[in-house]
Every structure is written in structure tokens, then in C-alpha cells.
Amino acid sequence: MGVGQLTEVRHPLQALSAGERVVIVGTGETAAVAFEYFCHDTPHEVVAFSAEAPFIEADSYCGLPVVPLDELADAYPAAATRVFVAVALVQLNRVRRRLYRAVKAAGFDCVSYVSSHAVVTPNVKIGENSFVQEHAALQYGARVGDNVFVGSGTCLGYRSVVEDDCYAGPHVTVGDFCRVGRASFLGANSCVADGRLVAEDCIIGAGAVILKDTAARQVYLGNPARPLGRDSFETFGVTGG
Amino acid sequence: MTRHSEAPPGAAQKIPAAPAGRVVIVGAGEWAAVVFEHLRHDSPYEPVAFCAAEEQLSADGYRGLPLVPLADLARTYPPDRYLAFVAVAPSQLSQAGRRLYATVKGAGYTCASYISSRAFALRTARIGENTFVHQRVALQHGVRVGDNVVIGSGTCIGHSAVVADDCFVGPRVATAGFCRIGRGCLVGANSCVDAAVSVADGCVLRPGTVVLKDTRPHLVYTGNPARPEAQV
């Protein structure tokens, strides 16, 4: 496992296990990031990358083969392989969601990653294909859905819920008893006050401080955060909802 | 640039395996004392002496070690046998510290760098010489940190971000991916820099500044969102 002090309380996802053979879906920066974490801080073995055929630019990535997504189940049978979909917040998390659903439909189970340098209370629930980086703190009773990214140093307070397909950057603070709705984006160092609701499909800009519940599909900035009156789908180029 | 770990993919990450060596700390103030404590207790280096300019020498020793004049450094602790660490106040990084670092490099010294054993650095991160990384810092995938940089406790440098030479980055700063912090910047505590944003050379970010757009060089920024105050 990684450097430094191992925390005393371990989450099941931080436990040592025999490891899986993992294919990373994606061939961009986020895929390279995931590759580094899997190689150095998990017992998993990354065996290949995969992408949709039109987006494949080379036969290999990070020294491993790149397999077209529609050939993945033939090349790496779902019974013996796990998948991690490594795409950032493109189109307000729509691309990651679409690829996640595609690999699930192809019969794959997805792995989640929790850094050995995160502090995660064992009763925290974390779904599939979620990624929790170093120095994150997921406190008692917090819940993280499927396909969620939790950045470095981000804190999720007691009993807070982050729903599917969300993306939280580094040093985000989600207070106690909060809810972050599906596919929302929380920028670096943003903060959600205790008990507040971030509705679905919101963009919370870097450093924004949410003191009141937000409305869906809105973009918020500032301290205290104010809506810019911009539609988040337009801002992030979401097509097709 | 120092490579943190030569471990092959799949191997456990190790504490950066810098070669052990004896280090002269150039400086004899508070920051030199901080560096001394960290090197002594949490690094493969052995601090053996302090060094300061003649006019700043008020005693023969500091923290129980010899204190030698800068003019005598190369004679008493020759650069082929000793490393140096230039430790002057972060507020002077852009001026006195940079000159002193240049002087020490000009005398032929290799400067040590320090990464806390309680920092997190991926093997693809690189740091330069005379750079000091505090506890609970995260240096993510592909990060580049230059020479003569201080990174404060709990700061996250996001993937593929660059921190250029002579910067002081305070504690609990968050930079998202693909940022650039230009040369000689002072980044105040709890500031944040949005993804792919560049902070130009010589900027000062007051504590808590939220930088959402590229800055112009040599300005002081403050607030959320960041606004320039005045010429530096």
C-alpha cells in the first residue's frame, strides 16, 4: 500500500485482497490517473484500456493494449475481468454515465477505488465505479453512489449523500446531512453548508460556498454562492439530457 | 528533476528514495530551524551545520550545530562532500532567497529536497532542487514542481499541474488539474486555482483567493472570485 501512515480504521474497499484483472475504459488523462492509482495503491492488475472505436488513436496506452469497447467482452470475458470507467466530467458527467451503463449492459462488474490515504468510516456505503482519492474523509453514515469521483482532501460529512454520476474536485467540503443530486459537479475547494441540498445537474464552481438549497441545472459561483442564471447543460455542452 | 520512486508499475509506492547525505542549511532564522527539524527527524539527510552571511552571524552556532560564514562555506563544507539546503523566509523567496540559492548553486552545491513521509506523491510527480514539501500534501499524477519551492501542509497539487521555480504555496491550497503556478508566486493559505488556470509569474494570492481565470503577472489578487489589488 502507499506511503505514510495507514489509518487504523479501514473501509472494506481499502482492505487488501487478491485483486482483480481490471480494464480501464478511457484513454485520456483521467485514465492515466486511474492507472497510476490502481498500479500503486491496489492489489488489482490493470490488463488493458478500452475506448469506443472512433476515439481510439493508438493500439496501446500506458504500455497496455487498447481494445474497442464493442469487442471488450470477447477479448476480456466479464466473468474474469472487472472494469473501471475513467472519464472526468465531460458533458456534465454524461460521457462517464453512458460508458458505465454500456459496460454494465455488456455484463461487467465495475471496481471502485478508495485510496489507502483516505479516511473512510467502515459503514460508509460506496457504489460501483467510484473513485476516492488520497486525504479524502468520508464520515460516519455517508453514502456515495455509483460512478462518483471524490477528489483529494474532500470531506463528506456525517450522513451526507452524494448521488450517482457526481464529480467532486479537490478540497471540497460537503457538510453533515447534505445531499448532492445526480450528476452534479462540485469544483475545487467549494463548500456545501450542513443540511443543504445541491439539486441534480448543478455546477458548483471552484470556491463557491453553498448556504442555501440550489435549483436543478443551475451554475453557482461565489461566497455566498449565487446562481449565474446559466443552464448547466449549455455550459457543459450536454446534448440529449 | 527528482524522480520520487523507481518502483515498477504494480510495486508498492515507497517514500522518495533520495540518497542520504550530509546537509548544510543555508540560513539561520526561523525557517532554517523548521527545515532543520524536518530534515533531522523525517529525511535521509543529516544536517551538519548552518551557514549565514557574515553580517547576520550573531553566534558561533545555531540549534547545537556550527554556524559558518557564507564566505567560508566551500572551504569548510566543500560541495563535493556536502549538500546544501537554502532556507530563508518564504516571504523572501522571490528576492533574497533566489539570490542566495543562485550563490550556493554557483559555488557548486547540489541542493537537497525534502518530501514529508506523510505527504502523498505519485511516482509520476517530479520535484526540483531545494524544494520543501510539507505533511499531508498531495502531488498527483504528472505534477511538476520546480526548484526552490515550498509547499505548505495539506495542499493538493492536481494532476499534470506545474509549480514553477521560487514559489511559496501556503497550507491547504487546492489546485485542480492542469494548473500552472508561475515563477516566484506567493499563494496564500486556502487559496484555490480552478482547473487548467494559469497564475502568471510573480503573483501574490492573498489567503482564500479563488482564481477562476488566468491572472496577469506581478499583481496581488484577493477575493472570490479573485480580483487584482495593485501592482506588486
For the cut 80, the answer to whether the pLDDT of residue B13 exceeds it is no
Q: Considering CB atoms only, which of B117, B119, B176 is closest to A170?
A: B176
pLDDT above 90 for A118: yes
Weakest-pLDDT range from A102-116, B1-15, B93-107, B193-207: B1-15
Identity (one letter) of the amino acid at A78?
Answer: A
Judge whether residue B167 has pLDDT over 90. Answer: yes
For residue A185, is pLDDT > 70?
Answer: yes
User: Letter for the amino acid at B119?
Assistant: A
Assigned C-alpha cell, A147:
460512478
Answer whether residue B190 shows pLDDT above 70. yes
For CA atoms A164, A168, A171, A172, give the dihedral sign: negative
**Contact criterion met (CB below 8 Å) for A30 and A7:** no
| DSSP H helical ranges for A81-156 | 94-105
Query: Checking phi first, is residue A178 left (phi over 0); if not, alpha (psi -120 to 50) or beta?
Result: beta
User: Which residue of A lies nearest to B42 if distances are taken between CA atoms?
Assistant: A4
Alpha-carbon distances, residue B85 vs B17, B43, B148, B212 (angstroms): 17, 13, 9, 34
Euclidean distance between CA atoms B232 and B222, whole angstroms: 13
Phi, psi (deg, nearest 5) at residue B160: 60, 20
Contacts of A93 (CB under 8 A, 6+ apart): A147, A165, A166, A167, A183, A185
- pLDDT by residue (tens digit) across B122-133? 999 999 999 999
Residue with cell 484500456: A49
pLDDT band at A16 (very low <50, low <70, confident <90, very high): low
Question: Contacts of residue A152 in chain B, CB cutoff 8 Å?
Answer: 120, 138, 140, 156, 158, 174
Q: Which of B18, B9, B12, B8 is nearest to B126 (CA)?
A: B18
**What ipTM describes this predicted complex?**
0.92
- Alpha-carbon B37 to chain mean position: 15
Contact A152 B158 (CB under 8 A): yes
* Nearest Cα residue to A161 out of A129, A199, A110, A131: A199
C-alpha cell at A18: 487478491
Q: How far apart are CA B113 and CA B147, in angstroms?
A: 9
Residue with cell 527528482: B2
Burial of B8: CB neighbours in 10 Å, binned 0-12, 13-18, 19+: exposed
**Conformation bin of residue B156: beta by default, left when phi > 0, alpha when psi is -120 to 50:** beta
Cβ within 8 Å, pair B159-A40: no
- Residues B108-158: pLDDT tens digits? 999 999 999 999 999 999 999 999 999 999 999 999 999 999 999 999 999
Structural domains in chain B, sorted by start: 16-106 (3.40.50.20), 114-224 (2.160.10.10)
Q: Across the interface, do B138 and A4 touch by the CB < 8 Å criterion?
A: no
pLDDT value, residue A11 = 86
Q: What integer pLDDT is reported at residue A238 of this predicted model?
A: 93
The whole-number pLDDT of residue A10 equals 80
Q: Dump the DSSP string for A181-237.
A: -TT-EE-TT-EE-TT-EE-TT-EE-TT-EE-SPPPTTEEEETTTTEEEEEEHHHHTT
Interval A37-57: pLDDT, tens: 999 999 999 999 999 999 999
Measured distance CA(A77)–CA(A74) in Å, rounded: 6
pLDDT score for A115? 96
What cell does A125 get?
456505503
CA–CA gap between residue A188 and residue A204 (Å, rounded) = 9
Q: What cell does A172 get? A: 471540497
Mean pLDDT taken over chain B = 89
- Percent of chain A beyond pLDDT 90? 90
Mutate to test the interface with B, among A152, A210, A223, A235 (most CBs of B within 10 A): A152
B75-96 per-position pLDDT tens digit:
999 999 999 999 987 665 567 7
All domains of chain A in start order, with CATH = 12-110 (3.40.50.20), 114-226 (2.160.10.10)
The pLDDT assigned to B44 comes to: 92
Mean pLDDT of the region A180-208: 98
Cβ-based contacts under 8 A for chains A and B: 119
